[in-house]
Amino acid sequence: MGKISYTIKTSLVKDMTVGDVFQLVNRIERAGGAERAGVDRDLGIAAQWVRNELIKYRFTEKGFRHTVADFYRMRKMVDEDFIHNHRLNYMMFFTIRDVCDWLKEKGKISFSAKSYWKKIDKVFQIYQDKHKSMVEHSVWMTIQDHMCFAYNTIEEYIEPLEFAIRDYLIQHRDKIIACKQKDDITLLAKCYMCLMFCAALRNTRNSFFRNIKEQKGFDLSVDYSYADIDAVCRNFVFLMQVLGVKFTKDKDGDDVPIGVDIAESVRVESVWNNIVRKLTDAELMDEMAIKAINLNPETKADYESIIAKQEQLALDKAIEDLKTLPNVKKA
């Protein structure tokens, strides 16, 4: 026998609130079916399908009041805004990768430490593979170019940040020695620097989803679990521990080397703020995105097509508006 196909008419519930959809499905399930609950069959099937899609999210009372259509519209907007978190993923990984390359070059990395680097690289590759599977090839190539361009915008601040940390550590070397921390200022400076990116990523991601939940009333973090690469940071800490660096937890629960709190350094904070300003400069990041698009002909064609459609829609609207204007006769 052939398979029976059925079109689910989700449009039937698009104007219902999320809460009403859940209540309707509960009513159908308690009654033992849509017909027994006095609900139209198509409506019941659509409600159950949508409920099964929504059940993975956590809603507050505010979230339950959104219509289904509004929820999906807002979810798409969140997906577009998540690019900032993707950028931080790449910035953190690139910084750690560069430090590991330095360790290899200087012959400072042991066999055990290398195993943790392999784990770091694997975590990032799994994340990339999943993200790649979710977008078109041309879009993926554009994303990669965009990430490289974004890193280039902050690269000039990486060395000054490391030097600022190094100088602060030198000033407080007595504390490092007193707590029996590894007495390698250069290694510690690179370690602190990478951990600043790790903390920034974790705090930004948590704040991102917390703000959405407070403002919109739902938690979408489940959709982005693939982009949670905290394991990169954990393995970097393990790598540094193998090299002799000792750690503790700060007030936010982040791993920090014992001995010196670089958060007290005004100079370190100043250089770090330069990096933050670059990465949160919407116009600059848009410029980097356009630059990446121009490197990829397929994406550029799609982008120009979208812009052309938007311009046409604006023109059509302007023409419609003109039709409603009163006729003015020439004197």
Q: What is the pLDDT of residues 105-164, one digit of tens each?
A: 999 888 888 999 999 999 999 999 999 998 888 778 878 888 888 888 888 899 999 999
For residue 63, what pLDDT is reported? 95
Backbone angles phi, psi at 309, to 5 degrees: -65, -40
Between 69-83, 111-125, 166-180, 309-323, the lowest mean confidence (pLDDT) is in 309-323
Which spans in 172-296 are helix H?
Answer: 173-178, 185-216, 230-242, 266-279, 282-294
- Taken in order 164, 166, 172, 178, the sign of the CA dihedral is positive
The strand pairing partners of 257, in sequence order, are 247
For residue 189, what pLDDT is reported? 96
Mean pLDDT (whole number) for 180-195: 95
For residue 319, what pLDDT is reported? 37
Q: Which residue has the higher pLDDT, 277 or 222?
A: 222
- List Cα–Cα distances, 290 to 97, 118, 146, 279, in angstroms: 26, 33, 8, 16
Q: How confident is the model at residue 288 (pLDDT cuts 50, 70, 90)?
A: low
d(CA 304, CA 133): 24
| Confidence check: pLDDT of 303 > 50 | no
Backbone angles phi, psi at 264, to 5 degrees: -85, -5
d(CA 313, CA 69): 22
Between 106-120, 165-179, 241-255, 279-293, the lowest mean confidence (pLDDT) is in 279-293
Mean pLDDT (whole number) for 218-247: 95
Between 112-121, 132-141, 288-297, 301-310, the lowest mean confidence (pLDDT) is in 301-310
For residue 6, what pLDDT is reported? 56
The predicted model scores a pTM of: 0.81
Contacts of 125 (CB under 8 A, 6+ apart): none
Mean pLDDT (whole number) for 250-255: 80
For residue 289, what pLDDT is reported? 54
195-223 per-residue burial string, b: 16 or more CB within 10 A, e: under 16: bbbbbbbbebbeebbeebbeebbbbbbee
For residue 244, what pLDDT is reported? 95
When the pLDDT of each residue in the chain is averaged and rounded to a whole number, the result is 83
CA dihedral 209, 211, 213, 216 (to 10 degrees): -120
Which spans in 32-82 are helix H?
Answer: 41-54, 61-64, 68-81
CA 8 to chain centre: 32
Between 29-43, 115-129, 297-311, the lowest mean confidence (pLDDT) is in 297-311
Q: Which of 58-62, 283-287, 291-295 has the highest mean pLDDT?
A: 58-62
Run of H or E including 139 = helix 137-171
CB distance 268 to 161 below 8 Å: yes
∠246-156-143 over CA atoms, to 5°? 90
- Strand, coil or helix: 330: coil
